[in-house]
Chain A
Amino acid sequence: MTQFLIPKLTPKQTRAKLYAKVFVVLSSFILCLSLITLTLLFADLIIDGSDRINWTFLSSFPSRFPEQAGILSAWVGSLCVVFLCMLFAIPVGIGAAIYLEEYMKKLWYSSWIEICLSNLAGIPSIIYGLLALSLLVYQLGMGESVLTAGVTLSLLVLPIVIVSTRESLRSVPNSLREAAYALGANKLQVVRHHLLPYSQSGIFTGVILSLSRALGETAPLITIGALTFIAFLPSAPLVSDFPFLSFEWLNDPFTVLPIQLFNWTSRPQAEFHKNAAAASLILLTITILLNLGAILLRNRARRKYSW
């Protein structure tokens, strides 16, 4: 039987092979680290808070007796605020991104807009709160309402939506734009029938990121005067009289889960800390559920349009 030779790699290739292995080990270590942190966090919350999670906790208003206190006004408030935030931020963000990417001529100030946008994404959220306080609450007289909170958070997440939408518009190959133009389409038709559908998955990524951001945000809402003790819900959007829709809830005061949570953790009684852990669990669950929905939509878009 013939003995075949195993050829040797050059010293550089041998080193490169070693580096490649070290890199994999390091990356998996870091991945484990973040997963373990998340698991520990979850486990801690479950240990502290799980026995407080029941229907009464979800359906009661806050109270000064820890065992009677619930998070009804907080989670309803959170959902209302996030709903409004998305309602404003998604269309405005997508529209701005389309304009910047497809319509705007490259002029001397284009790169300035670029820099400002990236900076906006990094501005501390309290600054948005101060802006909202002076502009929305005082100048425009919108009060400490659900609407003010929704608008404030939408300003906060707008750069995220814009940047991710632009990124995904940019990743659509130019050959597809030219193909559509060459068939006699105008710019709006190219955007509507091609660019928007093809960049759906990137847009959903932006929505996912901004959803999580908006749900967890506390500082700007405290600044605009969100209350920590709300023993009523915003008015119902559906009413029995014509026209059956009411927008009164937009003007109602509100609280959100992170604020409720913060309030409970800052109290001395250990019983309230249990409530805080339970509320954190609910907040995490809502975040995960909303993200899951967006991720499913994104995956569907990815399957449909990929190249």
Chain B
Amino acid sequence: MLSIKNLSVHYGSAHALKDVSLDVEDRGITALMGPSGCGKSTLLRALNRMHALYDNIRVSGEALLSSHNVDVLDPKVPPEWVRSTIGMVFQKPNPFPKSILENVAFGLNVQGLLSKSEKVSRIEEALKLAGLWNEVKDRLDANALGLSGGQQQRLCIARALASKPQVLLMDEPTSALDPISTQVIEGLISDLSKDTSIVLVTHNMQQAQRISNNVAFLYLGEILERGKTKELFSTPQHQITQNYINGIMG
């Protein structure tokens, strides 16, 4: 779905990501793992051009989105298009301090493609996909900040899903949530991966093991090891990967 080639990211003079190449397969979950500061989030945020928002970050390399035959890192490709096509869910739930409806509608309003009735049904669809519809259908006009943390995160997922992205980037989406909300969202991510390619950054090895199909292990800005989740966890090739998996190094 996305084939990343020679992706490098510099923060000022710091080389945060060094020539990373990785294939994100169509549908399914690709997990990015590794100790803090290894570049997982940097890699994720490069894919929807978030780095372009900041002055001192340089990104080079390419990432080919095969469904559209577009290199999403090409500066000539409008970042707005990339971000509508490759959605993102953040670590901390960040709903807009507006109504639930306005939250989900925002991405659609920005694109302005749908009529009002199409928009209403798309919003319903997105909220259903995120498993939130039954909890909020009677209070779509209520402020999103009145929802619980787990609900807010599912709202953010619905918001990202509304514009039907091909790829969904998730940056530790459960790390700010309690175990029950985490479980709900993990189930949701698995369901979504039947139709969408998901790239999931996670600290949590059990989570990667439970839901991902492929794993890439990053260390000091490079991909040390990648492969099918089962194989990587049962027979890691590197000592460092093995130490990390066994919790000797975090």
B50 contacts chain A at the CB level, 8 A cutoff: yes
A292-307 vs B, Cβ < 8 Å mask (1 yes, 0 no): 0000000000001111
Query: Which residues of chain A have C-beta atoms less than 8 A from B50's C-beta?
Result: 178, 181-182
Choose from B55, B83, B95, B145 the contact partner of A182 (Cβ within 8 Å).
B83
A106 to B12, CA, bound (A): 14
Choose from B53, B81, B160 the contact partner of A181 (Cβ within 8 Å).
B53
Chain B residue at minimum C-beta to C-beta distance from A305: B97
Total chain B interface residues with beta-carbon distance under 8 A: 26
CB distance from A303 to the nearest CB of B (A): 10
Contacts A175-B90, A182-B160, A184-B81; is A306 near B107 (CB within 8 Å)? Answer: no
CB distance from A93 to the nearest CB of B (A): 24
User: Are A198 and B110 in contact, CB atoms less than 8 angstroms apart?
Assistant: no
Chain A residue at minimum C-beta to C-beta distance from B83: A184
B111 contacts chain A at the CB level, 8 A cutoff: yes
Query: Which residues of chain A have C-beta atoms less than 8 A from B111's C-beta?
Result: 184
A17 contacts chain B at the CB level, 8 A cutoff: no
Choose from A175, A183, A193, A194 the contact partner of B84 (Cβ within 8 Å).
A183
A43 contacts chain B at the CB level, 8 A cutoff: no
A193 to B106, CA, bound (A): 9
Query: Which residues of chain B have C-beta atoms less than 8 A from A305's C-beta?
Result: 97-98
User: Are A184 and B53 in contact, CB atoms less than 8 angstroms apart?
Assistant: no
A178 to B160, CA, bound (A): 12
A173 contacts chain B at the CB level, 8 A cutoff: yes
Contacts A180-B96, A182-B88, A184-B83; is A189 near B110 (CB within 8 Å)? Answer: yes
Query: Which residues of chain B have C-beta atoms less than 8 A from A180's C-beta?
Result: 96, 106
CB distance from B100 to the nearest CB of A (A): 14
CB distance from A105 to the nearest CB of B (A): 6
User: Are A184 and B163 in contact, CB atoms less than 8 angstroms apart?
Assistant: yes
User: Are B96 and A194 in contact, CB atoms less than 8 angstroms apart?
Assistant: yes
User: Are A175 and B80 in contact, CB atoms less than 8 angstroms apart?
Assistant: no
B48 contacts chain A at the CB level, 8 A cutoff: yes
Chain B residue at minimum C-beta to C-beta distance from A306: B97
User: Are A184 and B84 in contact, CB atoms less than 8 angstroms apart?
Assistant: yes
A184-203 vs B, Cβ < 8 Å mask (1 yes, 0 no): 11100100011000100000
A173 to B90, CA, bound (A): 13
Query: Which residues of chain A have C-beta atoms less than 8 A from B81's C-beta?
Result: 184
A59 to B157, CA, bound (A): 63
A184 to B107, CA, bound (A): 7
User: Are B80 and A185 in contact, CB atoms less than 8 angstroms apart?
Assistant: yes
B123 contacts chain A at the CB level, 8 A cutoff: no
CB distance from B79 to the nearest CB of A (A): 8
Query: Which residues of chain B have C-beta atoms less than 8 A from A194's C-beta?
Result: 96
CB distance from A101 to the nearest CB of B (A): 14
Query: Which residues of chain B have C-beta atoms less than 8 A from A307's C-beta?
Result: 97, 145
Query: Which residues of chain B have C-beta atoms less than 8 A from A176's C-beta?
Result: 94, 96-97
Contacts A183-B159, A189-B110; is A178 near B83 (CB within 8 Å)? Answer: no
User: Are A106 and B97 in contact, CB atoms less than 8 angstroms apart?
Assistant: no
Chain A residue at minimum C-beta to C-beta distance from B85: A184
Query: Which residues of chain A have C-beta atoms less than 8 A from B90's C-beta?
Result: 175, 178-179, 182
Extra pairs beyond A184-B107, A184-B163 (13, CB < 8 Å): A176-B94, A179-B159, A180-B96, A181-B50, A181-B53, A181-B83, A182-B48, A182-B88, A193-B106, A194-B96, A304-B97, A305-B98, A306-B97
The 9 closest A-B pairs by CB, nearest first: A184-B84, A183-B107, A175-B94, A182-B88, A184-B83, A179-B94, A184-B80, A305-B97, A185-B110
A residues adjacent to B (C-beta < 8 A): 105-106, 173, 175-186, 189, 193-194, 198, 304-307
The 19 listed contacts between A and B (C-beta, < 8 Å) are: A175-B90, A178-B90, A178-B94, A179-B156, A180-B106, A183-B83, A183-B84, A183-B87, A183-B163, A184-B80, A184-B84, A184-B107, A184-B110, A185-B110, A189-B110, A193-B106, A198-B97, A304-B97, A305-B97
